[in-house]
Amino acid sequence: MKGALAAIMVLVLSCVPAMAWDGTNADTGDAVEIGKGNLVRVGEEIEVFDYGTGTYRNVTVEDVTGGGSTVEVEVYDYETGEYLLLEMED
């Protein structure tokens, strides 16, 4: 019985769509969002929506550090030549 319940829970949870990851640009204080489907790993290129400018940015992940209630994601924006620190909700 427990095995059947566990199988049902796995099936139900696997149908839940992946959600976007919300956070803040530490430099500007603007809200940002990393959309679902982005693999946030060092060296990977991800797409970030910046609510302050209302634009999408393609950036490269330079560093990921967890701590407390946030995860710090340092990224490099080749278009602007800037490093950004994103504080994402854990």
Place 11 in a pLDDT band, splitting at 50, 70 and 90: very low
| Domain-located, residue 45 | yes
Q: How many distinct structural domains can be found in the chain?
A: 1
Place 16 in a pLDDT band, splitting at 50, 70 and 90: very low
Give me the count of residues in the chain: 90
| Domain-located, residue 76 | yes
| Domain-located, residue 4 | no
Cα distance between residue 7 and residue 57, in whole Å: 40
| Domain-located, residue 36 | yes
Q: Tokens representing 71?
A: 């995860």
| Domain-located, residue 5 | no
What pLDDT does residue 18 have? 60
Q: Read off the pLDDT of each residue in 58-63 and give the average, rounded to a whole number.
A: 98
What pLDDT does residue 14 have? 38
Residues 6+ apart with CB under 8 A from 28: 52
| Domain-located, residue 10 | no
Mean of the per-residue pLDDT values for the chain? 85
| Domain-located, residue 32 | yes
What distance lies between CA 44 and its chain's CA centroid?
12
Which residue segment(s) compose the domain that 25 sits in?
18-89
